[in-house]
Amino acid sequence: MKRVSKVTFVTFALLLLLISFIYGYNVGDKKAIEKPQKELTIKDAENNVIGYKNDNNVGVERENVIGPNTVIEYINYYKKCNDTLTQIAEPEETIINFNEKDYRKYLETNHPNWQLLSFSSERIIVKRELDRYCPNHYIIGVKDNKIAIFKFNDMGEKVLIEMINKSVSTLKEIDQEKLKKGIVVDSKEEIGDILENFIS
């Protein structure tokens, strides 16, 4: 009789231990499921954006806006010489804190021929078609009735870089016409070759 009660007691104790373990496991798992996935961290006062972090410590990115450190990359296609050059610039003050929608609207209003290729808070890429020569070209022309050499600046404007002490009126009429129209060249070597023909 005592043996039976001992066996019964041990069995009952083991059964109770097993039930306690199962109950504890299920309740703990249920609490883990009910735990909130996101915890509020810091409110970004400058951009009025709230950041969250989840249980995996993965930060949710704040809204993409243009900041003072955003790089603007212009891919410039120059129609007059068919060259494509990349230009890096800082954002203008007027577009700071613009998101992608605001910036698209700004381009549509102010620069309808520009095309936005990529937008992020780190880098913006814009393609522009410009009806002018790129800064890689020189132009041989006329100033004060003398041969003059100009270079194109970033705005496509001619900037005088050298005057040649040779009167245009002493040249053949056909050469005078060429110079009045302007002879566009790609390098200083080409300038030397053309001037040699005019001066000799």
pTM of the model: 0.59
Q: What are the residue ranges of CATH 3.10.20.420 in the chain?
A: 64-130
Q: What is the pLDDT of residues 126-140, one digit of tens each?
A: 999 999 999 999 999
Classify 13 as helix, strand or coil: helix
Q: Is the pLDDT of residue 80 over 70?
A: yes
Q: Please write the tens of the pLDDT for every residue from 6-38.
A: 667 667 666 666 677 676 666 555 554 454 444
- Tell me what pLDDT residue 119 has: 97
**Which residue is associated with the tokens 């800082």?**
90
pLDDT by residue (tens digit) across 119-168?
999 999 999 999 999 999 999 999 999 999 999 888 888 999 999 988 99
DSSP tag of 143: E
Query: pLDDT tens, 96-108?
Result: 999 999 999 999 9
Exposure string of 94-130, with b = 16+ CB inside 10 Å and e = fewer, is ebeebebeebeebbeeeeeebebeebebeebbbeeeb
C-alpha to C-alpha distance for 23 and 9, rounded to whole angstroms:
21
Alpha carbons within 13 A on the beta-carbon side of 113: 7
Q: How high is the pLDDT of residue 26?
A: 66
Q: Give per-residue pLDDT as tens, 169-181.
A: 999 999 999 999 9
- Rounded to whole angstroms, the Cα distance separating 17 from 178 reads 104
CATH number of 64-130: 3.10.20.420
Q: Is residue 117 helix, strand or coil?
A: strand
